[in-house]
């Protein structure tokens, strides 16, 4: 009987530890803490390094994860706009890539993501990695860093309306 009680207690502890270790739900007090926690598992790239890749003609997929109004106001040459809110849904869909007249990326292709200041792109890079993309980087400082470093190296969609300068779109 004593062996049975000890064995059942051990089994109960094992079950509790197994259940607790399977839970990946983490609560973060704010978005900055969440981004900081995720950033360690993602790879950054500087504006200078990105410019070298563009200048050398390297094959990269450059994805701007800002909202369309932000993108239309100015973007890095060669970037494709896939907003952060739909990135995971579009990245693997053949129909999306066919409509964009581009090849769907392979899991090992180099993908560089950027947003306004860098936080959304860190989360986007982490999501792409969870989907199995193995060569994902985010632009340090995002569009703002690019715009300050290379003020004449951008494109814009003149036929689209840009957001107001004081509008709070994405913000990070």
Active-site positions?
Answer: 115
Phi and psi, residue 126, nearest 5°: -65, -40
Q: What is the DSSP letter of 146?
A: H
Q: Is 72 left (phi over 0), alpha (psi -120 to 50) or beta?
A: alpha
Helix/strand/coil for 155: strand
Q: Which residues contact 65 (CB under 8 A, 6 or more apart)?
A: 82, 83, 84, 87, 113, 114, 115, 120, 121, 124
Other beta carbons within 10 angstroms of residue 130's beta carbon come to: 10
How far apart, in whole angstroms, are the C-alpha atoms of residue 35 and residue 76? 23
């Amino acid at each position: 009987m004593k062996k049975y009680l000890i064995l059942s207690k051990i089994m109960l502890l094992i079950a509790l530890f197994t259940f607790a270790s399977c839970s990946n739900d983490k609560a973060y007090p704010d978005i900055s803490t969440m981004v900081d926690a995720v950033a360690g598992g993602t790879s950054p790239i500087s504006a200078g390094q990105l410019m070298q890749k563009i200048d050398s003609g390297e094959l990269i997929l450059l994805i701007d994860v800002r909202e369309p109004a932000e993108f239309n106001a100015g973007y890095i040459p060669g970037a494709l706009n896939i907003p952060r809110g739909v990135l995971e849904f579009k990245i693997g869909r053949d129909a999306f890539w066919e409509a964009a007249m581009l090849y769907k990326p392979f899991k090992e292709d180099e993908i560089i993501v950027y947003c306004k200041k860098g936080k959304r792109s860190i989360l986007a890079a982490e999501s792409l990695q969870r989907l199995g993309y193995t060569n994902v980087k985010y632009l340090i400082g995002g569009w703002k860093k690019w715009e300050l470093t290379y003020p004449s190296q951008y494109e814009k969609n003149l036929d689209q309306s840009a957001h107001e300068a004081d509008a709070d779109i994405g913000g990070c």
